[in-house]
Structure 1
Amino acid sequence: MADSSGFRRTRPAAVGDWRERAECARFYAASPVWADRMWTFEDAAGDDPVDPVPRTMARRICESCPVRLECLADATAGGIQYGLFGGFRRNQRRALGNMAESDGVTVYSRSGEDLDARIQAFRDWLRKHPEALKRVESEDHRLKQARRRAQRRRSVPANRASAQTAGDVPALFQ
């Protein structure tokens, strides 16, 4: 459940919480509906495509946010499924969490490890490995490009088949 700033709480807020310093908090105060389109709306069933324009704007805002890593660590370790946190979608956050886990950092709770300790450990790992953020972003971009190319290839054979059939007709009558 989201609070008035639009963040889902994984635990009670502390005094001087990082959420108060987040760039996106200003957007939730001004227009919760618009901010939802930018950061939190994501159709669980995948039936309704996310509008890319507000999402791109949200990512740009997240890139310059002073508490980006806190947001990213909180959402990843807290298991938040939907939305854009720290400029990353769920699958990107999962990839980062898996990278940290492979380095020996406990990000996901399997036996009730303290959430605050996991968030802090993951945030510290993110600070030490800024290249991981870029690697996940570039890999995601590469996968999107590959999906687009595959989609174009799937639509091309139908066109080629009709062109070949049209080209073969005169050969049949010679």
Structure 2
Amino acid sequence: MIYNILNLNNINSVQVHLTKGSTLSRSESKPQPKRQRGAPTNEISFSDNDHARFTFPHSDALVIDLRVNRYSIEQILINQGSNYEIMYYKTFLKLGLKDGDLKPADYPLFDFNANLEYPLGNIVLPIRASTKTLDVKFLVVKLSSSYNIIMGRMRLHTMKVVLSTNHQLLQFPTEHDIEQIRDLKNQ
């Protein structure tokens, strides 16, 4: 899916054509002030400038870091194909959590690692992405992985994230502006 990709070579404009007998009110005819550089636009977009930090072609997954339960966690895979947020058991332990902190998981994971997997349980922890904080329910699995956490599309949708693996970047609206998080190796 493409979301508002800018073509910097095109000029787009909106023109008002009045029919005979119609007029603009005084408030409509006032010129709009130009947006100041760096002023918030509440528009999510990706441009060629976002490509400047890496070489092409690439087929890299989007891997970021976030704050989870007061800890900075690296190697978080953004996986739009997953319905769940997965935390690996090694990460769970490094956060100082114990098996007694887990609540029972009511269902297995289908098609995870091409097998039926039973989570050890689930836990709700706060995550912080830039200035936005929300509680996330993680399924904890005891498997080996080069990632610490997998963030699935449910939380991404909750945060209204728009991501581009091509640009190795995700963006999301906050109360005051659009914030972004870059892939770890391209920061």
Q: Same fold (TM over 0.5)?
A: no
Instruction: Please state which structure has a larger fraction of its residues in helix.
Output: 1
Structure with bigger RCO (C-alpha 8 Å, 6+ apart): 2
> What's the TM-score once normalised by structure 1's chain length?
0.26
> What's the TM-score once normalised by structure 2's chain length?
0.25
Instruction: Please state which structure has a larger fraction of its residues in strand.
Output: 2
